[in-house]
Amino acid sequence: MDLEKPLPSLQDADALQFWQAAKEHRLALQWCSTCKSFLYPPGPACALCGAIDIVYKDIGREVTGSLYSYIITHRAFVPGFATNVPYVVALAEINEACNMKLLANLINCAPEKVRIGMQLRMVWEDRTPEVTLPQWEPL
């Protein structure tokens, strides 16, 4: 456990189901019942149409994606990441959620091996007993 790395707030009522599912190594995403779209990050209303009829849908434990974009971070702007540089932050389209994009670290992949379109799977990092973070790794 590395407490120098920032953690998400578990006080955000809109995101609570996301983090509760993550703790169980499952992906749960908000879904707008009006425009039939997955939403991320979680919020009080649909970012696409403004509707407030939002529900959570369970995507499950087997989540795959396609790398849409990424950056390679060479400098740790937060001290807790100093031992991780260089590391990859990846935006991937989730195959099981209408290609909705989710941002997370891409782990177990050397930065020079990263390619747009590469296939990924979601894995989970139990950062603390309360907080589990989604991560991507090569499929």
Segment interacting with Zn ion, rule: CB under 5 A, options 31-39, 60-68, 95-103, 118-126: 31-39
Burial pattern 46-66, b for ≥16 Cβ within 10 A else e, equals beeeeeeebebeebeeebebb
Q: Which residue has the tokens 């974009």?
A: 69
Residue 6: cis peptide before it, omega within 30 degrees of 0: no
Q: Does residue 29 interact with Zn ion by CB under 5 A?
A: no
- Least distance in Å: CB of 57 to Zn ion? 13
- Least distance in Å: CB of 38 to Zn ion? 10
Q: Does residue 55 interact with Zn ion by CB under 5 A?
A: no
Positions that interact with Zn ion (CB under 5 A): 32, 34-35, 46, 48-49, 51
